[in-house]
Amino acid sequence: MTFWENLRIRGYACSHEAEAPSPDDLARELEWRCGLVATGRVASLAPKSSEDASPRTMSAIYGLSQQPFHTDCASWPRPPRMLSLHCIEGGFEEVSTDILVFDWGAVERATAVNLKEVVWPFQCQSKRAVYGTILQRLPEIGWRVRFDPTLLRVACNGLEKELCSLGRTDSIVLQSGHWLIIDNYRTLHRRSRVGESKSRRVRRCYWG
């Protein structure tokens, strides 16, 4: 499949796939094909230990350990539809970006009330909470997933495992110069454990 078919069907696509745009053409192609434009500022991400990270961020909670699967900006009223991760420096050892690719038939058949019916509060620091279900069917895109255990104001033990049972996990190792675009509504993602790869640098951009 081509880059654009993978993005639409699988929920993510990589820079080395057929018909992938150049980094310079990505913005124009995303606007033309998907109606998305860059939103927010471009962030430069580097692995941080819990002690070095800003308080209450995912790095402060998980440090260099594996992150939980999550939606970026899950506490925003309208999270960005997509995020791109451009690897500036890959580090010394493999660090993967794991993507939970859903089986939409399994999602449709799922009967877990806590995923489809319970209205959860997502809250980032002192901002107002956003209330929503984890799996919500939207007329224009089908099922949308919103999940981040670090932003849920109430205990959510077992939810990540339930979500993982509804799909498969693909692991992408970005090398320097590679990039990846992820559908933030149709997949969940996480960074694997960072060992000695503290030199890893990734540029992240949101599209909405």
Residue 29 vs 72, nearer CB to Fe ion: 72
Residue 160 engages Fe ion in binding (rule: CB under 5 A)? no
**Looking at beta carbons, which residue is closest to Fe ion?**
72
We find the least distance from the C-beta atom of residue 188 to Fe ion, in angstroms, to be 9
- Considering only residues 127 to 156 of the shown chain, the ones binding Fe ion according to CB under 5 A are none
Look at residues 171, 37, 47, 50 and name the one whose alpha carbon lies nearest to residue 101: 171
We find the least distance from the C-beta atom of residue 98 to Fe ion, in angstroms, to be 11
Helix (H, G, I), strand (E, B) or coil at 8: helix
Residue 72 vs 160, nearer CB to Fe ion: 72
Q: Which stretch binds Fe ion (CB under 5 A): 25-33, 66-74, 166-174, 193-201?
A: 66-74
Question: Please, which residues bridge with residue 96 across strands?
Answer: 173
Q: Which stretch binds Fe ion (CB under 5 A): 68-76, 96-104, 128-136, 161-169?
A: 68-76
Look at residues 15, 39, 41 and name the one whose alpha carbon lies nearest to residue 26: 15
We find the least distance from the C-beta atom of residue 149 to Fe ion, in angstroms, to be 12
The secondary structure of 23-55, three-state, reads HHHHHHHHHHHHCCCEEEEEEEECCCCCCCCCC
Q: Do residues 82 and 183 make contact, with C-beta atoms less than 8 angstroms apart?
A: yes
We find the least distance from the C-beta atom of residue 168 to Fe ion, in angstroms, to be 19
CA distances, 193 to each of 76, 95, 100, 134 (Å): 26, 7, 16, 25
Out of 38, 45, 53, 72, point to the residue binding Fe ion (CB under 5 A).
72
Look at residues 139, 127, 38 and name the one whose alpha carbon lies nearest to residue 77: 127
Residue 72 vs 98, nearer CB to Fe ion: 72
Residue 22 vs 54, nearer CB to Fe ion: 54
Residue 45 vs 112, nearer CB to Fe ion: 45
Residues lying near Fe ion in the complex (CB under 5 A) are found at 72
